[in-house]
A and B are shown apart, each in its own frame.
Chain A
Amino acid sequence: MMGLLSILRKLRQSPEKELRLLLLGLDNAGKTTILKIMASEDVTHVTPTAGFNIKSVVSDGFKLNVWDIGGQRKIRPYWKNYFENTDVLIYVVDSSDKKRLEETGIELFELLGDNKLEDVPLLVYANKQDLPSSLTSAEISEALGLHSIKDRVWQIQACTAINGEGIKEGMEWACKSIKKK
């Protein structure tokens, strides 16, 4: 009986709004790990994403449909197929991968230039802060030139996806930026 009641209660409280979050970034940036942290799943068995993963998470009165698209070069041409109706773009950077900082910047600004992503709030996760060789979020922001972004709201958040540090803070910003819209 209790089970049924709580199910009914949950149904009544069903979130009013569904949102589409798009996770992008180079391969090995940590997109799938972030997705799993959001869904409170184990992150020790992650594999490289061939294609994409999707998970639905309820947070802050929203039902978040999070799309995690593979980041390897061969898959990047498919990214644009997932742009439509995106509410927040989450871009993940491996802060320890200095060699590919330029590459990740180019990919990011190409995304921002796309019509379908016009006005979409941007959250950048400066991931892997636990590694000693990692750049800080301020350094990443500087290197990518985030301050030149004037056409949308954006935020950079330092995080360590494997232990979940910083993920929640980023998501809070994302939910806030949607409410403002």
Chain B
Amino acid sequence: MYNIWWFFTSYLRSVLKWFLRRTTGLCELQRICYGEVSGAPRISAVEKSLNLSKSPQIKKLIAYLNDVSDNLRLKGSTEREILKGAVSTVLLVKRINPRIHFQFVKNFSKCVEQIWGYRQLLAEVESLRNIKFDSNNLEHEAKLLQLWEALMPSVELDNRISKQWQDIGFQGDDPKTDFRGMGLLGLENLLFFATEYRMPAQHVLSHSHHPVYGYCFAIVGINLTSMALHLLRSGDAKTYFYNTSKCLPSIRLFHQFYSYLFYEFDRYWLECKPVDIMQFSNIKLKFENNIRTSLMDTNAVFKINVSVDTV
């Protein structure tokens, strides 16, 4: 059944594309790049169109770009070369005159940068997650102490091994075992939120100390790293990245996405008025579904609104 349905839709798609090409004089990619608003609506449409392409040259191009981004080679001057090559392949295959359609060249190139930049970002985030937190590594240790200083600027840590870690929501007296499968990514996420969004992070940390609705800041944070990674991997997060990123997406943008999730989760948690921390998995699941729903709207913009009760 599915095969027949698939056959008809793909057949109909070809007929419709041929018809539109004849009447408008533009190929599908051009119609998208001129017709769709910039950001997620346009980039996602280009991505879909490229993935459905039957042209062997386009298929080869896609495989090449996948390989480049999986190996983190989409960078600096190489990136410009690669984008140029990708655009000229499409111009050639679709017989587009770049002098007339210079706007297409510009728009399409931006889309390619975002589509494969996202893929590259996923590879980068995964490699950071794969680095286990190692207390023999001075760099890792320095980052951990930085996290303390950023979150507790007025309190000195008595000792590297200390019950005080629980004040910022680690489980015991040594955070090293708490990063688990999220590795260095979990620590980098927390550190970014604590240093780049100082006020919002302080705000969230103070909520985590609430006598009734309190929770473990760092542990919840590490669980949110897992959620952010999950949304990135499933592709649900594309709306966020395609609408926020102006150039090649970097790891900073992932940290920003994480910070947004953390800030919003805290708000949602308090709204839910949970009786105790045992409600965490239920509330987390509901929160994740809400985020997924809002990411389905390709026009959505996500920002931390720090107008709240900071006074």
A interface, CB within 8 angstroms of B:
27-28, 43-48, 50-53, 70, 72-75, 78, 81
Q: Which residues of B contact A78 (CB under 8 A)?
A: 276-278
Q: Which residues of A contact B129 (CB under 8 A)?
A: 45
CB proximity of A59 to chain B, nearest CB, Å:
23
Q: Which residue of A lies closest to B225 (CB)?
A: A47
- 9 A-B contacts, Cβ less than 8 Å apart? A47-B180, A47-B181, A47-B225, A50-B219, A50-B280, A51-B278, A72-B219, A73-B172, A78-B278
CB proximity of A2 to chain B, nearest CB, Å:
12
Q: Which residues of A contact B181 (CB under 8 A)?
A: 43-47
Interface SS of B by simple majority: helix
Q: Which residues of B contact A44 (CB under 8 A)?
A: 181
CB proximity of A165 to chain B, nearest CB, Å:
19
**Is B180 a contact partner of A46 (Cβ separation < 8 A)?**
yes
CB proximity of A109 to chain B, nearest CB, Å:
21
Specify which of A43, A46, A74 is in contact with B216 (CB 8 Å cutoff). A74
B interface, CB within 8 angstroms of A:
129, 166, 171-172, 177-178, 180-182, 186, 215-216, 219-220, 222-223, 225-226, 229, 276-281
Specify which of A50, A72, A75 is in contact with B223 (CB 8 Å cutoff). A50
**Is B278 a contact partner of A52 (Cβ separation < 8 A)?**
yes
**Is B171 a contact partner of A48 (Cβ separation < 8 A)?**
yes
Q: Which residues of A contact B166 (CB under 8 A)?
A: 74
**Is B171 a contact partner of A81 (Cβ separation < 8 A)?**
no
Can you name 20 extra interface pairs (CB under 8 A) apart from A47-B223, A72-B171? A28-B178, A45-B182, A45-B229, A46-B181, A47-B186, A47-B225, A47-B226, A48-B171, A48-B219, A50-B216, A50-B220, A51-B278, A51-B280, A52-B278, A52-B281, A53-B281, A72-B172, A74-B166, A74-B216, A81-B278
